[in-house]
Amino acid sequence: MLINFIEQLINGLRTGSIYALIAIGYTMVYGIAKMINFAHGDIIMVGAYALYFSISVLGLPVPVSLLITVVVCSVLGVLIEKIAYKPLRKAPPLAVLITAIGMSFFLQSSSLLFFGSTPIPFQSVIPNVNIKIGPVVISSITLVTLVVTAIAMILLTLFINKTKLGSAMRAVSEDKGAAELMGINVNSTISMTFAIGSALAAVAGILYISQYQSMKPTLGALPGIKAFVAAVLGGIGSIPGAMLGGILLGLIESVSKAYISTELADAIVFGVLIVVLLFRPSGLLGKKKIVKV
């Protein structure tokens, strides 16, 4: 019983790590551009298909294919920002929200047109080997997911806190006008944010299809929604909050599926979000902001 519970927690950490990587993209874009990029979940799907195309169609080595996947998603993120969101920088929030939803459907429909609706099986780029640590069995995919996520989060934290570009991102997040007066290129900083967030989504997409080994045009829809829930749960705009929210969401989902009901697991996840927001509307690590009128 205890061993099974520990294994469920490890599975939850694996799933939560993927949610956390995606949630960071949501929270970075919101923190700097003050908008929700609902197309962000579909970038996971684009990354999955880019990896499939690179390996299965072009026959490229796995390391090169992984690099191409990250680059494709980063460039796509920047293009989405330039084409769809930049012209609406001063538009009402509702217009930006509708555009983001439209971009999400555009990416899904484009994938449906090119690759069809039939799920495509894809062999994991991570060798699937069971590793025994005492009585606990951990798959190599789980171990790689946890290690890659930890490295990505550490590098991102160091980048934001220790580099000039990271300082610019924090400044733009606090006050765009003041940052521009200090000589910071706000447009370039926002583009950089989209590129980093999309690169993390690409990594999440690689880990996701390594786990489930199947692709379809709607692959990123549900993980994207859950990652958004994780970002809100942790406190939208807070990178540590996105990390915490993703991990908690994965743990809650895994334990719910194992001990309550597979069908009710998603309902429980969203129910926990509602309860948290009732008592702490800004999220677990979010900051309350007083707006002067």
What pLDDT sits at residue 289? 58
What pLDDT sits at residue 69? 94
The enclosing H or E element of 214 equals: strand 214-215
Structural contact between residues 249 and 256, judged by C-beta atoms closer than 8 angstroms: no
pLDDT tens column, 134-158: 777 888 888 888 899 889 888 888 8
The mean pLDDT of the chain is: 87
Total-model pTM: 0.89
pLDDT tens column, 157-187: 888 888 888 888 888 888 888 888 888 888 8
* 95 or 288: which leads in pLDDT: 95
Phi, psi of 195 (to 5 degrees): -65, -45
pLDDT band at 290 (very low <50, low <70, confident <90, very high): low
Q: Where are the domains of the chain?
A: 1-117+124-279
Whole-number Å distance between alpha carbons of 140 and 130: 6
pLDDT tens column, 87-134: 888 888 888 889 999 999 999 999 999 888 888 888 888 888 888 877
Answer whether CATH 1.10.3470 is correct for domain 1-117+124-279. Answer: yes
Whole-number Å distance between alpha carbons of 32 and 289: 15
